[in-house]
Amino acid sequence: MKRNLARTTLGILFFAALVSLAPAAQANVCTMSDVAGKWEYTYTLTIIFTTDAIPAAAVGRFALDAMGNISGTQTRNVGGSVGGETIKGTGTVNADCTATYKVDVYDGAGNLLRTAVLAGVFVDNATELRAMFASLVLPNGASLPTVITVNAKKLHPED
């Protein structure tokens, strides 16, 4: 009998502990306003060709507004060729902090170089972003097989 009482008491305490955690779990909701601000990022990648693979990397900054608009600049290095680029795009963030963005990349003269679709997740109270490129397409419509990961941090989390 004492054993059943102990199990019942333990079960009630465990259930109460789970219920008390529910509001904390629900508090981790993201909105476009939460992620809006100025960000800095790096990404590393490999462009995969049928006979070769080329390493590349980039560093940059972007501004993200509460409507999901992105604009910024980056310096990229593709196989040793370094250049400056401008980025512009749009995206959405979901309540679970996952996000999707479509970003166009332009050279200094304003020519479209490529379009990327990124899938990501905001972490650490929407002050960091982890993402990967879901697709990378050239202006002529050709898709480049790539493996690209992105790490971004909000410059002023209090903004």
Domain 32-154 bears CATH identifier 2.40.110.10: no
**Domain extents in the chain:** 32-154
What is the rounded CA–CA span in Å between residue 157 and residue 80?
Answer: 34
Q: Is 4 exposed, middle or buried (0-12, 13-18, 19+ CB in 10 A)?
A: exposed
- Amino acid in the structure at residue 37: G
pTM for the predicted model, two decimal places: 0.78
Structure tokens given for 11: 């079960």
Structure tokens given for 125: 């109270």
What is the rounded CA–CA span in Å between residue 113 and residue 49?
Answer: 18
Q: Are 93 and 35 in contact (CB under 8 A)?
A: yes
Taking only the tens of pLDDT, the chain with its 159 residues reads 555 444 444 444 344 443 343 333 445 689 999 999 999 999 999 888 888 999 999 999 999 999 999 999 999 999 999 999 999 999 999 999 999 999 999 999 999 999 999 999 999 999 999 999 999 999 999 998 888 999 999 998 665
Q: What are phi and psi of 6, to 5 degrees?
A: -65, -45
